Structure 1
């Protein structure tokens, strides 16, 4: 693309910033809502049909998390050499291909391979997407806060609404053996969403510079509470997302209730940006992340303490209104406290920390479920999230 074409694309971002934001959010719908969480919906059927233990089922999400970790590290290494828009676009295309082929073969090695690759490719878009969204509405703090929250809330939430409203019902109608069709449906949805996402990322790609600028070093010691709180988020939230359907199935919930709870969860994720926008706009400290972690802890605990229909509904509402705002909180913290040249590196660092912590959660919960015969024990991650909230509250504004 020539410099004039790139300048025209940047002009499109200034003229139609909300459409650009929607495209970025649909990209996260692919790499976050579909690539990472559709597995939780298909897990009960795959476990039943393929004879997996809880540890094997948890391993596949850990494999995805390991791939995500690799992608996050790769993004951190490349973000100063390759523009975030290029990384975002590459991640969208490759994640779509990975999801399309996941249902081709039930062998554990095949499933592991594509869960790993979906994690690698998805992390490229997730890390760079936050840096892209932070470029929108830079002269309007309230709109900028909404853009960051919308990216993560609507981006992941829309994928869960679509997948959560369709996949459990499809499995109930066609039986557990239809799980490969679920992956094909997810892949087709990605193909539909990808064009607008690619256009949006291109709209935020600046003209090529002659020499890459040197980025200032991150003030890591002064960011420790925020980093530690985000690590607690990665460790605690993924257990709920991985085993919620399996837990509901063990409690005797039918496909209709499972679909309703996941759809409600997704709807709450979609509207969560509007709930948290005032908090993001007001605070540049660790307060937003601390509040979010506390809410996630409450939502996680409710699913175990009150596993009936009403309890699960309240759990989905509290959890859904908060969980995808944690990435928005650290992106907002980055936007308020660091120069623009450091945004990509800082968000990549947060993503690496998050990726490391979330590799532990699913497989540890699966082992605990196998040992106790009750996967509900694996959902008790509220204490970890609560500790993370206290630590994040210690984060002060930088400079």
Structure 2
């Protein structure tokens, strides 16, 4: 097998891992949330808390990954995170108690963070002799995998709930878990192929945090703002009496656009080594988040799904691309984990904060507008980020 074909196959395996740890573990909840609220009697704040529990797990997972990378290479951490995340998804459908739901959402965040951050470093190590292919591989890793998970969820879960009622939410999680188990073998194979490439666990060079504050600030704004749309857009559409097919259509369109987004942004990633890509991405996410409220109706929703989907999963790709172009390879894993910690801490505030706003105003649309404002502030921070000196 020639090296290029092998690298594309490895990337496909890594991408399936993102489908599990992001597309399913973090975002399928947004589709199941209306049914879970109806069956379990949750408020918006309680519903938001479960994604905050997931985000808290993400914080712990990101910090744990940062520590483990001092002793282990990224590949085994990625493989462990994918497999165990699949287990948590299956288990989420087995107990409706809030404590059990909180436990499994927390565990999915912890284990998913471990896989997501290390997988980004692995994807960045592919095609290092070809900058455009390298930028494309990073964008595909973050975009296609998560987009695939959202598409599969959008094509199935709303229609299943419409056919079998809101009580079918538990079976939704169980089926997602089974599909995740089916994806695991290819992801584990991809991780094994990259063990020799990572060698051991070389001591990383220090990450110049003070010179990267603009990128960190932008990524914190992303964590605070983006999650509101993916947590509550289905709930907002349900409150507007949108039929199941419309919810499924919008969610699937978001996923398809996420899957297409790498091909839109690869040129931007290859061209810029500063904060410009992240700033542009955040502006687009802000526009997509506010459109359903500012432009009510099917046309506004469709444009919102397109603009949001073409940008949202490229934010991790932007910081990975920035890391690759500005830091030595032995520091990639540590730097991406630090970005992930920043993102995860910010993400803990987004869902429950949005839920509080929704409960206080009686309209979750107010939370979408607040998220849009936060994303624009993040874009201002990101645009201030300069390329780091080569020394």
Moved more, 316-325 or 295-304: 295-304
Query: Cα distance, 1:206 vs. partner?
Result: 2.0
Corresponding residue for 1:206?
196
1:31-180 to 2 correspondence within 5 Å?
31-180=21-170
Give the match for residue 390 of structure 1.
Answer: 380
| Paired residues of 2:73 and 2:201 also in contact (CA < 8 A) | no
Deviation of 1:55 after TM superposition, in Å, equals 0.6
Q: Deviations over 1:236-272 (max 9, x none)?
A: 0001110010000001101000000000000000000
Unaligned runs of 5+ in 1: 1-10
Q: Does residue 1:329 correspond to 2:351, yes or no?
A: no
User: Using the alignment, how far apart are the partners of 1:130 and 1:12 within structure 2?
Assistant: 23
Contact preservation (8 Å) 1:226, 1:330: yes
| Matches for 1:336-355 after TM superposition, within 5 Å | 336-355=325-344
Q: CA deviation at 1:13?
A: 6.2
Tell me by how many angstroms 1:15 deviates.
Answer: 4.7
Q: Determine the structure 1 residue equivalent to 2:7.
A: 17
Cα 1:46/1:167, change in 2 over 3 Å: same
Q: Deviations over 1:152-182 (max 9, x none)?
A: 0001000000001110000000000110110
- What are the equivalent positions in structure 2 for 1:372-391 lying under 5 Å apart? 372-380=361-369, 381-391=371-381
Match of 2:251 in 1: 262
Residue 223 of structure 2 contacts residue 344 of structure 2 at CA under 8 Å; is this kept in 1? yes
Per-residue CA deviation, residues 39-71 of structure 1 (Å, 9 max, x unaligned), is: 000000000000001110000000000001110
8 A Cα contact 2:204 2:331, kept in partner: yes
Distance 1:386 1:377 in 2: 16
User: 214, 217, 223: which is aligned to 1:225?
Assistant: 214
Gapped regions of structure 2 (runs ≥ 5): none
Instruction: Output the CA distance in 1 between the equivalents of 2:238 and 2:150.
Output: 18
Contact 1:248–1:307 at 8 Å: present in 2 too? Answer: no
Write the distance in 2 (CA, Å) between the matches of 1:202 and 1:173.
41
CA–CA distance in structure 2, aligned partners of residues 213 and 290 of structure 1? 32
CA distance in 1, matches of 2:171, 2:87: 15
Cα distance in structure 1, aligned partners of 2:260 and 2:224 = 24
User: How far does the alpha carbon of each residue in 1:321-374 deviate from its partner, in whole angstroms, 9 at most, with x for none?
Assistant: 000000000000000000001000000000000000000010011011111111
Find the counterpart in structure 2 of residue 238 from structure 1: 227
Instruction: Tell me what 2:281 maps to.
Output: 292
Alignment pair present for 1:366 and 2:358? no
Number of matched pairs? 388
Residue equivalent to 1:273: 262
When residues 265 and 97 of structure 1 are mapped into structure 2, their CA distance, relative to the original with a 3 A threshold, is same
- Per-residue displacement from partner, 1:294-339 (whole Å, max 9, x unpaired)? 1001101102212311111100000000000000000000000000
3-state SS, counterpart of residue 118 of structure 2? helix
Task: Answer whether contact 2:254 2:308 (CA < 8 A) is retained.
Answer: yes
SS in 1 for 2:195: coil
How big is the shift at 1:12?
A: 8.0
Q: Could you tell me the TM-score, scaled by structure 2's length? A: 0.97
1:313 corresponds to which of 297, 302, 310: 302
Whether the aligned pair in 2 keeps the contact of 1:12 and 1:203 (CA below 8 Å) is no
CA RMSD of aligned residues (A): 1.2
**CA deviation string 1:156-211 (max 9, x = no partner):** 000000001110000000000110110011011101111111101111112786x7
